[in-house]
Amino acid sequence: MKQYPGYTLVKREDCPEQHGTLTVLTHDVSGAAVLLVENDDDNKAFGIGFGTFPSDDTGVFHILEHSVLAGSEKYPVKSPFLQLLKSSMASFLNAMTFPDKTVYPFATPNETDFKNLMDVYLNAVFCPLAMVDKGVFEQEGWHRDEDGTVSGVVYNEMQGALATPDAQLQNALSRAMFPDTAYGFVSGGDPASIPALTYEKYVRVYHYSADNCCITLYGKMDMAEKLAFLDEQYLSRMPKSASRPRLTVQDEQTGAKRKIPYYTEKPEPDEAQCALAWYTGAFSDRERQLGVEILLDALLGTNQAPLKAALLEEKLGADIDVGFDDSTLQPTLELVLRGATEESAGKFAAAVRKAVDGILEKGIPEELLMASLNSTEFASLERPGSIPDGVLDAINASAGWLHTGDPALLLHTNALFASLREKLEQGWFNELLRELFAPAPVEIIQVPTLPRKEEEGR
């Protein structure tokens, strides 16, 4: 068994899905979680993820994500990332703010490039100039210009992002489903709230500590050398903090209803929308969450799929979208009726209930479920899309670590698919459908409305 000085081995296991082995380690001094994905992929990847749980709509973690990339102690240039992009051979170089975590991943086929980028990323997150330079906060977050107008990179970005009716509907839905937890807030920041964020609070909530992170090393490389660098240059200098923040579980808001306006100069009667959402169970129950994904694909994946076809036949609106996020502590699924009238939007929940009951009476056709299971399995192994495998693994490792303490949890899928194949024949998916839609949904109806009088002068 390989020894890694400075780290304690949690587990080591074969992982055919990633064509190699997974090793989970804990760093002795700092408490950092580390996942090694060792395989023959030349497109090596690195990722570091932190638990970041908003407690308001100021977008503080989105602003921090931008800020730490604007120079660090060792790389004090204005934007080291733009410099890197010019010279690097990286196949992926980015950072992302999620509702409950912030992840900094990159991928590159070049060994020298990998070492440089890893140092730049680690220095950026652990030693950012933003903590001593208020100018970074004002540039990336918000500041007031001489004429009194507010601007800033994140402020301007979110003004565009939150202006759409869809974004406002999503935010209202999150608030209704998670009124008491981090998931009820706009993690990217609401322009109406961003200017309430002070530099002092921003510095206070920066908790990019080593015991609040999950580091992933992926691909064909000398792992011992990378771990020694991590230990000597960063982690061994960062003792554990008193306590790291935790997510809380929301009491389910079954049956909650809201009606919200969407202000527009030209309100059209058939531009109302209705979003319905249900909780899908525990994040840690990966078999169930995978089952939900397969079920939704089988019933709503195309206009001909049974549930979608039955709902479209009701002619309540122009289209129906389906959404499912299984990366959060309490995964949710949603159905959105678009292009409806206010009256027809109000009938959507009853129509879904009736259509689901109709399907349960006959049972879901097994061949439909099998086709969805096969295509979902193929996609999970082949991973179509432009994001490198190692970057996806780093994001998934952060989610698994955050919610269960196990960075390897989401990287194993073969046993789940095998088990679901067996359960398919036993009618398990019919029972899942019954359970999912049994509770009354959280419901948001959005109605286009003329702007209020006092807002017209803006």
The residues carrying an active-site annotation are: 65, 140
**Helices 366-382, 414-425: crossing angle, 10 deg rounding:** 180
> Which tokens hold the place of 261?
């306006």
Tokens 């899905």 belong to residue: 17
* Contact between residue 359 and residue 299 where contact means Cβ atoms under 8 Å apart: yes
Beta bridge partners of 262: 448
* Contact between residue 69 and residue 124 where contact means Cβ atoms under 8 Å apart: yes
Q: DSSP character for 105? A: E
Torsions phi, psi for 158 (to 5 deg): -75, -25
* Contact between residue 100 and residue 248 where contact means Cβ atoms under 8 Å apart: no
* Contact between residue 455 and residue 263 where contact means Cβ atoms under 8 Å apart: yes
Please provide the DSSP assignment of 385-407 as one string: SSS-HHHHHHHHHHHHHHHHS-T
> How much of the chain is in helix, strand and coil states, percent to nearest 5?
45, 20, 35
Residue 258 identity (one-letter amino acid) = R
Strands (E), 203-286: 213-219, 257-263, 272-279
β-strands 150-151, 213-219 pairing? unpaired
Distances (CA, A) of 217 to 233, 268, 344, 411: 16, 52, 51, 14
Q: Output the CA angle 378-370-296, nearest 5 degrees.
A: 85
Beta bridge partners of 215: 34, 48
> Which tokens hold the place of 94?
């980015």
